[in-house]
Chain A
């Protein structure tokens, strides 16, 4: 009996490593190829880490990077300002609306980006009319785009604490609604809020379709343009963006782990 179990365990172990190996090769091979290709021109990487030279040599790329970083920061900010109070309020006062809000927030996930653009184009005609054609106006579209991920994260954070009781306890101790949100609820969903922000940043840094079709600039659009003139540089920038997103996601999972480990063992 023990022999059968040991053999089965060994088989499973072998299978596990085989799957891991195949998947590892599948995911790593393109990355290795990117590294190999981007190092063919020895100038590429030194130039990429030297910002002033980079912006001289590839002004469009520099613009794209700056635009993307600004969009990412503003999207995360706008998302938090909109979503956090809404999610808290829905949980506290309008629990019946939870399903509806969840449905609305998940909608962008079901609509392909290209379809979204068709709908957004006329809206952006008005945005241009009021706010001009800056690439930063993409923040509005991106805020909608990140809703599914951000809402899920924040809602999960709120589900992990007893918002209603905590809010009532704080109110009975003399706290107004602002104090309740800022000093009681927010500190307890900090990790959820951070992960919502990270997800938004990662998503915005990788966005291409909407920016390209609405004729705006961002990192991905400039990479694509660059690909036509300097292939190695465009691959190097892609690789860097990929690594950055990877680091963000890693931080996110670390946050998640910390949240779990600080919880009381039931």
Chain B
């Protein structure tokens, strides 16, 4: 099974005065998994629903495998979709749910194929269960099996993990990634959880107010954010005042390279907490305010004059960083974005 390419061209959609999609362009390569990430109301779900045919665009085109499907209704589009929750048909067993789409297409060997799909999601022995007899995570696996059973051209995942608890969420996220690369279906995954997006996507598209702010690999989105919004939304960032010159931006005595060129003068740099290191130093000019334990790492808030700096440190260092301790703060010179 190989995927097909998907192109969204100039999509516009307004709800009242809100521009859910504002001239959105998005291309997904065949077999690729693209994550749309953004705060609620940024239009990511609308983009997915327009691609699914569940929502009409006011303007623009949807191309799947080169053919224009903009005018096709949802049931003719050949898309497998997994919803947030409660999308399994309650009156059908897991197996019958998976068979539903196959039977509508008049496929032969329906039960065999459906059983194979249940095996693929690791629930081979759960075929006779009804949705209410399964956990949320199991229900979402069945929903994934049901969406993939029809061998769709495109797989659409609309925040499929958001209703699950943290541990199941991570497990299922990895499994979705494994299954997707196994079957090779072109996939659009919508989420508001940045960690999820970075973990599963081949490319992450960060959306804001109906537009794509950046579409790049997870590493690039994290390390070279195209805008302050991206830097801020993907991961926690410090906003540190500095001065831009030809070599970069000078912040707290360290010159940091910039991800994109900027005019010289005062500016605010967005610095990741893991690029900040803190060490106890009686002559240091910082003072520890708070310290929160996160497991393997801890987050330390330090006041340097008027500026608050958040640093991520190994939890082993925490005993030496009690609130009130004088510390010196150093920045690792990795490229940073500026808050315009």
Query: A13 near B: Cβ within 8 Å?
Result: no
A262 to B90, CA, bound (A): 11
Question: In the complex, which range does the number of interface residues on chain A fall in?
Answer: 20 to 34
- Please measure, in the bound complex, the distance between the C-alpha atom of A169 and the C-alpha atom of B100, giving whole angstroms: 10
Closest 3 CB pairs of A and B: A173-B101, A264-B132, A172-B81
User: Is A169 a contact partner of B81 (Cβ separation < 8 A)?
Assistant: yes
Closest chain A residue to B73 by CB distance? A171
Known: A161-B90, A166-B87, A188-B89. A172 touches B105 (CB 8 A): no
A-B contact sample (6 more), CB < 8 A, given A168-B81, A173-B75: A168-B83, A169-B88, A172-B156, A173-B147, A174-B104, A175-B104
Q: Are the CB atoms of A171 and B54 closer together than 8 Å?
A: yes
B150 adjacent to A174 (CB under 8 Å): yes
Most chain-A Cβ atoms within 10 A of its Cβ — which of B77, B83, B150?
B83
7 A/B residue pairs, CB under 8 Å, sorted by A: A162-B87, A166-B87, A171-B74, A172-B80, A174-B78, A190-B91, A264-B133
In angstroms, how far is the closest chain B Cβ from the Cβ of A244? 30
**A255 CB, nearest partner CB in chain B, Å:** 15
Question: Using Cβ atoms and an 8 Å threshold, which residues of chain B touch A161?
Answer: 90
B26 CB to nearest chain A CB (Å): 19
Q: How far is the CA of A59 from the CA of B196 in the complex (A)?
A: 77
**Interface pair A172/B79, CB less than 8 Å apart:** yes
Q: Of all chain A residues, which has the CB nearest B92?
A: A187
B272 interfacial contact with A, CB 8 Å: no
Q: A165 at the A/B interface (Cβ < 8 Å)?
A: yes
Contact A165 B87 (CB under 8 A): yes
Residues of A near B53 (CB, < 8 A) are: 171-172
Say yes or no: is B86 at the interface (Cβ < 8 Å to chain A). yes
CB-CB under 8 A from A166, the residues of chain B are 86-87, 89
Chain A residue at minimal CB-CB distance from B87? A169
Contact partner of B86 (CB less than 8 A), chosen from A162, A172, A176, A184, is A162
Name the CB-closest residue of B to A187.
B91
Is A99 part of the contact surface with B, judged by Cβ < 8 Å? no
- Cβ of B309 within 8 Å of any chain A Cβ, yes or no, is no
Q: Report the bound CA distance from A258 to B101 in whole Å.
A: 29
A179 touches B104 (CB 8 A): yes
User: Is the CB of B52 closer than 8 A to any CB of chain A?
Assistant: yes
Decide if A173 touches B54 in the complex (CB within 8 Å).
no
Q: Complex formed: what's the CA distance from A169 to B156 in Å?
A: 11
Residues in A with CB closer than 8 Å to B85 are 165
- The answer, among B83, B88, B105, B143, for a CB contact under 8 Å with A174, is B105
| A179, B104: Cα distance in complex, Å | 9
Report how far A263 CA is from B130 CA in the complex, Å. 11
What 0/1 pattern do residues 102 to 130 of B give for CB contact below 8 A with A? 00110000000000000000000000000
Which residues of A lie under 8 Å from residue B143 when comparing CB positions?
169
**Chain B residue with Cβ nearest A177:** B75
Q: How far in angstroms is the closest Cβ of chain A from B162? A: 14
Whether a CB of chain A sits under 8 angstroms from the CB of B224 is no
Contacts of B147 in A (CB 8 A): 172-173
A34 contacts the other chain (CB 8 A):
no
- Whether, in the assembled complex, A214 has its beta carbon less than 8 Å from a beta carbon of chain B, the answer is no
Is the Cβ of A175 less than 8 Å from the Cβ of B81?
no
**Contacting B52 at CB < 8 Å: which of A162, A172, A184?**
A172
CB pair A176–B75 under 8 Å, yes or no, is: yes
A170 close to chain B: CB less than 8 A: yes
- Write out the residue numbers on chain A whose beta carbons fall within 8 Å of the beta carbon of B101: 173-174
In the docked arrangement, what's the CA distance between A162 and B150, Å? Answer: 23
Interface centre among A169, A179, A190, A264 (most CB of B within 10 A): A169
Instruction: Fill in one digit per residue for A23-62: 1 if any B CB lies within 8 Å of its CB, else 0.
Output: 0000000000000000000000000000000000000000
B13 interface hit (Cβ, 8 Å):
no
Residues of chain A within 8 A (CB-CB) of B88 are 169
B90 touches A188 (CB 8 A): yes
Taking the nearest CB of chain A, how far is it from the CB of B128, in angstroms?
16
B contact residues around A179 at 8 Å (CB): 104
Q: Is the CB of A165 within 8 A of B104?
A: no
